[in-house]
Amino acid sequence: MVSERESSQFVETASGRIHLHQVGEGHPVVMLHGSGPGATGWSNFGPNLDAFAERFRVIAPDMPGWGASDPVSYEERDHVAAAIQLLDALDIERAALVGNSMGGATALKVAGRHPDRVSHVVTMGSGAPGPRMFVAGGGPSEGLKVLHQGYREPSRENMRALCRVMAFDQSFASDELIEQRYQSCAAHPEHITNFAAGLGRPRRGESTLEDIAAIKAPALIIHGRDDRVVHFEAALRLVSTIEDARMVLLNQCGHWAQLEHADEFNRLVCDFIESASAATF
């Protein structure tokens, strides 16, 4: 069993000190968490690490501005640069990037702009540029409104609302996860303040259509049919734009496919990375 404490370590980069969990051996797989208040590499991917560590060297960082990593302001936040610096600090030439939501946006942008550093791309619940086809109106989704409120007021009540809107199966909005997210916010109030300062301003780190069209690495796009944060139409845009892509749409699944359908997610992604290995490793 992967231990949260024993797998924990820090690396120094030009973007500051990055905290991460690292286990296993083999081809590197970097798992990038989403943007919610209290999110960390462990909260997004802790239940997946055992399965991945049996086959790969897996790294789950807290990106700058989250978890135990150094804080960054809205203006300083550059997760693409941070991801490349993290690979350099760990002496990784090429890695598979697996990203949830914001982490998927980072993975897509890195793959489009630094193709020599990315062997595979996997996204879960990630957005895509372009007009909305199936969702009426503008502005943030129901889930993003709840996420933003969690940054404006990071109370236990709002962490509960956040966990509930993220998951289709409400058992995943457990008291343990809610308390974990709340304590992460309380331990790092500077992260909350810095992110909240960017609300209402242009979102940072979003990929352009040109970035996505430039991706040559094999891509696996996973999305929940019941995602209330990012509609699954985004997955349709991604799979129609990336040259070597396939899509899996999961029914009875919200924004956290890797948690709600952990066994299927682990099998799908591990098999995908290994099956595409001949052309990429």
Active-site residue list: 255
d(CA 279, CA 41): 28
Identify any residues that bridge with 246 across adjacent strands, giving them in sequence order. 220
